[in-house]
Amino acid sequence: MREIDLAFIRLHILYHASKEEVYGVGLVKELARHGYKLSFGTLYPTLAKMVRKGLMTYEARTVNRKQRKYYRITPKGLKELNKVKNKIRELYEEVIVER
Ligand SMILES: [Zn+2]
């Protein structure tokens, strides 16, 4: 996967985790909607890295006898998301709106 796609994917994950709890299969579906074919082999290390950086936390729960990790954004992750939002706005205005 290209580095820029991974960056966009991380942003999607951070954003969605700020709105609700997210989990692996749900994220793969959501990202497929945006045209990203994400394998679990890419997704789980990405999530683990975000947890290590303190941007997300997770809670393991058993649903239908399956262990599932539910991820949420942390206060640090929210701060990061807000910073990035400003950058996205700036980039959008320059690259798309061309003002
Ligand atoms: Zn999304």
List the CATH number of the domain containing 37.
Answer: 1.10.10.10
Write out the chain's pLDDT in tens, 99 residues.
789 999 999 999 999 999 999 999 999 999 999 999 999 999 999 999 999 999 999 999 998 898 999 999 999 999 999 999 999 999 999 999 987
pLDDT score of 1 = 79
Number of domains in the chain: 1
pLDDT score of 94 = 94
Give the tens place of pLDDT for each residue, 73-88. Answer: 999 999 999 999 999 9
- pTM, full prediction: 0.89
CA of 82 to the centre of ligand 1 (A): 16
Q: Within 10 A of 99 (CB to CB), how many other CB atoms are there?
A: 5
Which domain, by its residues, includes 76?
Answer: 3-97
Are the C-beta atoms of 58 and 21 separated by less than 8 Å?
Answer: no
pLDDT score of 2 = 87
CA of 63 to the centre of ligand 1 (A): 24
List the beta bridge partners of residue 72.
57
Write the single-letter amino acid at 50: M
CA of 27 to the centre of ligand 1 (A): 8
CA of 32 to the centre of ligand 1 (A): 9
H helical segments located in 1-99:
3-19, 24-33, 40-52, 75-92
